[in-house]
Amino acid sequence: MDLHRRPHDGDAAVPLRRHKSPPSSPKASDALPLPLYLTNAVFFTLFFSVAYFLLHRWRDKIRSSTPLHVVTFSELAAILSLIASFIYLLGFFGIDFVQSFISRSSNDAVWEDHINHAVCQQIPVLPPPEPLISSISTEEDEEIVKSVVEGKTPSYSLESRLGDCRRAAAIRREALQRVTGRSLQSLPLEGFDYESILGQCCEMPVGYVQIPVGVAGPLLLDGFEYTVPMATTEGCLVASTNRGCKAIYASGGASSVILKDGMSRAPVVRFSTAKRAAQLKFFLEDPLNFDTLAVVFNRSSRFATLQRIQCTMAGKNLYMRFTCSTGDAMGMNMVSKGVQNVLDFLQNDFPDMDIIGISGNFCSDKKPAAVNWIEGRGKSVVCEAIIKEEVVEKVLKTNVAALVELNVLKNLVGSAVAGALGGYNAHASNIVSAIFIATGQDPAQNVESSHCITMMEAINDGRDLHISVTMPSIEVGTVGGGTQLASQSACLNLLGVKGSSKDSPGSNSRLLATIVAGSVLAGELSLMSAIAAGQLVKSHMKYNRSSKNVCQM
């Protein structure tokens, strides 16, 4: 959207005013004809000279017992000169200090009145704005900024007009500061490749957000070790996952199985009657028609392979859920193009079909839905490990019986009481989100990708713990989207899954899905142990609390 000024409606909002710097304060010597350094020298000399003269005369009077209040003409002139020089020096060195003190007190009073007014009017109180610091260095850029602020140049068109993505971001940022009156000084601008996100990752950039990346591991999974990158601002998360990895490693590692691999898209179409909608449903579900539909669908990409079509009706509306393999890509765009091909093909035999939308939420993307929990979406993974009794006691500081009981009452019964959908776990979304952000996945797909049921069972006569996580809809890719950015690409490279696999297309994305599940397994194991041992609050108070004095900050 364009940057433009919005009018303020009375007391509906606190107006933002651009503060101008006050004119420089007059100096005490501005009214004198002499240069400043000569004026200072004269009054300094006069002050110390008459002070010495008066002290010398008063000493003589004290010695001769002469009253101090009896003064001569020279002493009177000296006293007047002392007072005059003192007033000058006090004015020269004290005006700035006094004026700054008065100005600060005045500003504080104005801000207090602003807060009192906002409280009385029930208006949200915003913090005082930081000073605006311009990053514009040329007159040409200054003119462009003014054009954007005035609405003559659309902000979204800067990249195409200038041909320089970094320059466009700087100009847009400056225009935003001037329109809002709020500083973006603390938002980094330099050090990012804005060319890499043009037209595919982010529009109208004004900077980038820094998120620390920690590593947990090694995670011993299916006989291989992985160091897992996690981007997060939550204390204890990486440390807790790392402890779970340690327990899994000490017990011989974890193993995983991929049950399904297919991305889905479900358009919705409408007919004049339910009978006509049912005819299309029967046509799509007829095995004799599947090969023809697959050929049409697979034209969208050399990696796209249609797997199945599920249909459901709501009156005269038909929802068709297409599922296909997508290679190493997460595959949303790929499956959408294939669906569009099929819809265009079906329009020939069903000209009365009204296409309402390419997505009818039967997919279901970025929303908790039972269809993903039951049918799966993306990669469906099961990961398991057997944790030895001595590891549970020494590394996790608890016991097998306590873990099993807690898992039943918390993850299973507690989630059922809460009416959870796919949330039969302790904190799977924590690990999923951290890995997604680090490796350039779509963070919004954490919603369905975090569907997980954690199971724990005592085995070997109750000595050891069998733990597993079942995650039916992990939606990841190693090509496309944010995976190509430098930082995210480095994290994928750390895991050995960067880019597309030439030998076996899709193997890198499937491996990434198993690593996500293995990391969730480690995170579940560690957090559940901390809760069972009563260490959760203590650890978070130690590692997830800032030691800085916020009042001083």
In angstroms, the CA 403 to CA 411 distance is 11
What is the DSSP secondary structure assignment for residue 329, as one 8-state letter? B
* 258, HSE (Cβ side, Cα atoms, 13 Å): 20
Q: Is 6 helix (H, G, I), strand (E, B) or coil?
A: coil
Who wins on pLDDT, 241 or 70?
241
Closest CA to 451 of 435, 437, 469, 467: 469
Task: Look up 540 and say whether it is catalytic.
Answer: yes
Who wins on pLDDT, 78 or 331?
331
In angstroms, the CA 79 to CA 109 distance is 41
Closest CA to 213 of 236, 192, 230: 230
CATH topology of domain 213-261+379-540: 3.90.770
Closest CA to 319 of 272, 276, 273, 356: 356
Catalytic residue among 75, 164, 234, 457: 234
CATH class of segment(s) 153-210 = mainly alpha
Strands 423-424 and 452-459: parallel
Who wins on pLDDT, 134 or 552?
134
Mean pLDDT within 284-295: 96
Task: Inform me whether the pLDDT recorded for 552 exceeds 80.
Answer: no
Q: What secondary structure, in 3-state letters, does 23-65 show?
A: CCCCCCCCCCCCCHHHHHHHHHHHHHHHHHHHHHHHHHHHHCC
Radius of gyration of the chain (CA): 36
Task: Inform me whether the pLDDT recorded for 130 exceeds 60.
Answer: yes
Who wins on pLDDT, 373 or 550?
373
Q: Quote the pLDDT of residue 398.
A: 96
Q: Is 530 helix (H, G, I), strand (E, B) or coil?
A: helix
Catalytic residue among 337, 366, 397, 466: 366
Structure tokens at 390: 């001595």
Who wins on pLDDT, 77 or 267?
267
What are the extents of the domains in the chain?
Answer: 34-88, 153-210, 213-261+379-540, 267-357
Mean pLDDT within 34-61: 77
Buried b (16+ CB within 10 A) or exposed e, 346-384: beeebeebeeeeebbebbbbbeebebbbebbbbbbbbbb
Contact 29, 39 (CB under 8 A): yes
Task: Look up 117 and say whether it is catalytic.
Answer: no
Q: Is 529 helix (H, G, I), strand (E, B) or coil?
A: helix
What is the DSSP secondary structure assignment for residue 198, as one 8-state letter? T
Mean pLDDT within 410-431: 97
Residue 38 carries which side chain, given as an amino acid letter?
L
Contact 359, 319 (CB under 8 A): no
CATH topology of domain 267-357: Alpha-Beta Plaits (3.30.70)
Task: Inform me whether the pLDDT recorded for 122 exceeds 70.
Answer: no
At a CB cut-off of 8 Å and minimum separation 6, what does 129 contact? 16, 19, 181, 182, 183
- At residue 131 the predicted structure's pLDDT band, cuts being 50, 70 and 90, is confident
Q: Quote the pLDDT of residue 13.
A: 42
Which string of DSSP letters, residue by residue, matches 359-395? --SSS--SS--HHHHHH--EEEEEEEEEE-HHHHHHT
How many other CB atoms are found less than 10 A from the CB of residue 192? 18
Task: Look up 8 and say whether it is catalytic.
Answer: no
319 strand-pairing partners: 268, 312
Contact 529, 241 (CB under 8 A): no
- At residue 6 the predicted structure's pLDDT band, cuts being 50, 70 and 90, is very low
pLDDT digits over 242-276, tens only?
Answer: 999 999 999 999 999 999 999 999 999 999 999 99
- At residue 497 the predicted structure's pLDDT band, cuts being 50, 70 and 90, is very high
Mean pLDDT within 13-27: 43
Task: Look up 542 and say whether it is catalytic.
Answer: no
Catalytic residue among 442, 448, 464, 524: 442
